[in-house]
Structure 1
Amino acid sequence: MDKKDELIILIAKARRGDEAAVAKVVELGKDRLYRYCLMLTRRRESAEDLCQETFLRALQKLNQLSEPGAFYGWLCQLAKNIYIDQLRLSSSKETPTSAVVPEAPAREPFVGEITGESDTGILVRTILSHFDPEDRHLLLLVDMEGHSYLEASEIMKVSENAVRSRLHRIRQEFLKRYKGGETN
């Protein structure tokens, strides 16, 4: 039995309330989801929070998963939606700068500072941070997580041709910034 078949069986058990199966589903998906969340948020603590929130929501909505074999893509889609909701919420809570004198915020260390990541890794993360969340999500799904164009199109709810076209544009922009060392 391969991992995908094992996952499908575990999801079926988890849907019936089997706590051991729920724990195993989380265990099987946590590292992959964390890597995705880390690339999306670019901050370790934010990625951990997003990962936790995603699993909580996924377990609540497990019965809505129509294709258990597409569990990882579904998790990534949930994470992306939660992340975008959090961005919207935080931007709507911002107060005008003229109303308050801002304090210098405590800066959360960049992932590269914590992990000793190479300059190239830091440059890649910085470049990715300039893409909008939808484009970054698509690039991460295909180029980092290894989803096919068809799988990415199903996750993103767009045509496969739209995925190909957007990825071409995103990759061109990424390469332009990478080769030029541009991060703005």
Structure 2
Amino acid sequence: MLSPLTKPSETELFGIAFLDSLYRYALVLTRRHTEAEDLVQETYVRAIEAYGRLREDSNIKAWLFTILRNQWFNELRRRRSAPQFAEADGEHSVVDALPSNASGAQEMMESHENALMVREALSKLPPEFQEVLILREFEELSYQEIASVLNCPAGTVMSRLGRARSKLRAALVEFGDAAFSERKKA
């Protein structure tokens, strides 16, 4: 257990480094920017409340992702009994917030085009495949950390990740073929 004398400023800052990662993951789960923001905020509220019970050797990143996912499932359970309303959250895709790296102008252009293709292909995958790909490839969680977050065996994570990568690869080939056909027509 952490010391009960932990300063509030330390408590407030302990997971700030993961804010963007949590937000991207929340977008995958909620598919709406405002809901993702609310979910991340609620995650931090819960984490700060439980911070004093956290063991010193705990993996804070995996712990925060687990809290976020559990909060989302709690929200889904609450919604089952409430009336459903459809709400458009703008024109942005769920995966618009995914990071990309580029340096020169040509590289930036190619990287942007590739990122758009990856984002489009990723958005077409089922949510469970999006979730495991985001956690592994973008948030760089280990298989064991992902298993902890998803509350499933590591073997399930590995097989789901394999299927997700295969589906993403096929979608990217399809997008590449479509882009090639478009260029050929021009």
TM-score (norm 1): 0.67
Q: CA deviation at 1:26?
A: 4.1
1:131 aligns with 2:127: yes
What residue is the counterpart of 2:180 in the other structure? Answer: none
Structure 2 vs 1, CA of residues 49 and 167 (structure 1 numbering), >3 Å: closer, same or farther? same
Kindly provide the amino acid, as one letter, of the partner of residue 53 in structure 1: E
- Mapping of 1:5-154 within 5 angstroms? 12=2, 16-66=5-55, 68-94=57-83, 105-112=86-93, 119-120=116-117, 122-128=119-125, 130-132=126-128, 135-154=129-148
Distance 2:87 2:118 in 1: 23
Q: CA deviation at 1:75?
A: 0.6
1:176 aligns with 2:166: no
Q: Which moved more, 1:106-115 or 1:54-63?
A: 106-115
Q: CA deviation at 1:52?
A: 0.1
Structure 2 vs 1, CA of residues 23 and 82 (structure 1 numbering), >3 Å: closer, same or farther? same
| Aligned mate of 1:162, from 137, 156, 163 | 156
Equivalenced residue count is 158
Larger RCO (CA under 8 A, 6+ residues apart)? 2
Deviations, residues 129-148 of structure 1 (Å, cap 9, x unaligned)? x324xx44332221221112
Q: CA deviation at 1:108?
A: 1.5
Q: CA deviation at 1:42?
A: 2.9
Distance 1:31 1:125 in 2: 19
SS, match of residue 107 in structure 1:
coil
SS, match of residue 36 in structure 2:
helix
Partners of 1:34 and 1:47 within 8 A in 2 = yes
Q: Which moved more, 1:168-177 or 1:80-89?
A: 168-177
State the 4+ residue runs in structure 1 displaced beyond 6 angstroms.
none
Partners of 1:77 and 1:155 within 8 A in 2 = yes
Distance 2:12 2:6 in 1: 11
Kindly provide the amino acid, as one letter, of the partner of residue 11 in structure 2: V
Structure 2 vs 1, CA of residues 66 and 173 (structure 1 numbering), >3 Å: closer, same or farther? farther
Structure 2 vs 1, CA of residues 31 and 68 (structure 1 numbering), >3 Å: closer, same or farther? farther
Deviations, residues 17-51 of structure 1 (Å, cap 9, x unaligned)? 51111222243332232232233323221211110
Kindly provide the amino acid, as one letter, of the partner of residue 169 in structure 1: R
Structure 2 vs 1, CA of residues 32 and 106 (structure 1 numbering), >3 Å: closer, same or farther? closer
Distance 1:43 1:124 in 2: 18
Q: Which moved more, 1:72-81 or 1:22-31?
A: 22-31
- For structure 2, list consecutive stretches of 5 or more residues without a partner in the other structure: 98-111, 176-186
Structure 2 vs 1, CA of residues 74 and 26 (structure 1 numbering), >3 Å: closer, same or farther? closer
